[in-house]
Amino acid sequence: MNSGRNLTGWASSVTLMDDIRPFRVDIPQEQLDDLRDRLARTRWPDEPPGSGWSYGVSPGRVRELAEYWRTGYDWRAQEARLNGFPQFTTTIDGQNVHFLHVRSPEPDALPLIVTHGWPGSVAEFLEIIEPLTDPRSHGGDPADAFHVVAPSLPGYAFSGPTTEAGWGVERIARAWAELMRRLGYERYGAQGGDWGGKISPEVGRADPEHVAGVHVNAFSVAPSGDAADLEGLTEAEQARLALLRRWHTERMGYASIQATRPQTLAYALADSPVGQLAWNLEWFDDYGENVGAVNADAILTNVSLYWLTGTAGSAARLYREGASAWGREVEFSKVPLGVAVFRGDSTIRRFAERNHTVVHWSEFDEGGHFAAMQAPDTLVADVRTFFRRLRP
């Protein structure tokens, strides 16, 4: 069974579709020179003696990465790596959407749309695209192959900036369904973490007739407020609930600002690369606790995509657009859901089952919030396992 609409190859299919434009990353050298100049002239703040991470991101860590960004990091190498994958743009609901589209050599591969979050980008997926699309070449079963579509969220990097208000989770989900229709995919899966963990289930709600299943990581669902929700939790679940409470009391400052005053924040992030680095770094370094290390090049590639495209403020607006839906009960979804819980996640199954048909649940002692970068092999294996039962 062909997973698309008589697609014999991506190149030939482009001519059959309206408004699909090939894209290639090509940052002008003057922007890179300006970045290095700004880094060299950073005006550094003071710090409380011996504060470490207790007042915010560690100054020593920011200085270390900023110096590497200025003197050692090779954007051109990362740019070439991104350009190693076919990329395109299209206009959906008036918004430019950038996406990677990597077709599998296996003709019966299942299409899969993967969605990143904040402060990430499509660069999160560079380690998992090839194993997903070509398992035969990566020690896997060719029957587990996917055609991968990886869009940049509206407002983020090459999909930015957004040009009007209203680009929240549900609207993005509808846009993703339209993107998959436009690519000719009649049946497909969705996967994502962070914002992708909120958007991917909404794709299932928006397009249930065509979505085979949804797999998520870094998936957060709050308790309902009913005391019965908290009875009989396992020790591991109680620890995750404590993590969720800690996030609300100690770590949600960035979300509150981006959900209320994103434009005020945007002036600083648009003008200071070190400010951009520090603002994004807390999640990549897990607030100094190093749950799962993300290497310096991967961190700086994600940060550079925000800086070089000038989309930090536009990306932050997603929090403003999505704030009204935080904690809101949603329609129960009959689309099969698979959940991968990595180290540091606060996901609790009974909370997820309130609004989803959970048919797959995995827990791992590795990885972290950015599983595609921190534990790519484990994430790929779990995605394969989940979708194996849902293939034709």
Q: What is the dihedral of CA 313, 319, 322, 325, to 10 degrees?
A: -160
For residues 167 and 317, give the distance between their C-alpha atoms in angstroms, rounded to a whole number.
8
Q: Is 306 a catalytic residue?
A: no
Of residues 194, 285, 286, 382, which has the active-site annotation? 194
User: In the block, which residue shows the tokens 């945007």?
Assistant: 266
Contacts of residue 312, defined as CB under 8 A and 6 or more positions apart, other chains included, come to 265, 266, 269, 270, 276, 279, 306
Q: Is 185 a catalytic residue?
A: no
Ordered by where they begin, the domains of the chain are 10-43+54-388 (3.40.50.1820)
The tens digit of pLDDT for each residue in 138-157 reads 999 999 999 999 999 999 99
For residues 139 and 201, give the distance between their C-alpha atoms in angstroms, rounded to a whole number.
29
Of residues 215, 306, 319, 382, which has the active-site annotation? 319
For residues 381 and 222, give the distance between their C-alpha atoms in angstroms, rounded to a whole number.
27
Long-range contacts of 133-142 (CB under 8 A, 24+ apart): 133/102, 133/103, 133/104, 133/105, 133/109, 134/104, 134/105, 134/106, 135/384, 136/105, 136/106, 140/380, 140/384, 141/384, 142/106
For residues 333 and 358, give the distance between their C-alpha atoms in angstroms, rounded to a whole number.
10
Task: Please work out, in degrees rounded to the nearest 5, the angle formed at the alpha carbon of residue 381 by the alpha carbons of 384 and 371.
Answer: 115
Q: Quick one: DSSP state of residue 110?
A: E
Of residues 116, 147, 360, 369, which has the active-site annotation? 369
pLDDT values of the chain reduced to their tens digit, one per residue, 392 residues: 344 443 333 333 443 446 999 999 999 999 999 999 999 999 999 998 988 899 999 999 999 999 999 999 999 999 999 999 999 999 999 999 999 999 999 999 999 999 999 999 999 999 999 999 999 999 999 999 999 999 999 999 999 999 999 999 999 999 999 999 999 999 999 999 999 999 999 999 999 999 999 999 999 888 888 888 899 999 999 999 999 999 889 999 999 999 999 999 999 999 999 999 999 999 999 888 865 679 999 999 999 999 999 999 999 999 999 987 776 778 999 999 999 999 999 999 999 999 999 999 999 999 999 999 999 999 999 999 999 999 98
Q: Quick one: DSSP state of residue 370?
A: T
The tens digit of pLDDT for each residue in 188-200 reads 999 999 999 999 9
For residues 357 and 337, give the distance between their C-alpha atoms in angstroms, rounded to a whole number.
6
Which of 318, 380, 365 has the alpha carbon at shortest distance from 137? 380
Q: Is 369 a catalytic residue?
A: yes
Output the pTM of the full model: 0.94
Q: Phi, psi (5° rounding) for residue 150?
A: -125, 95
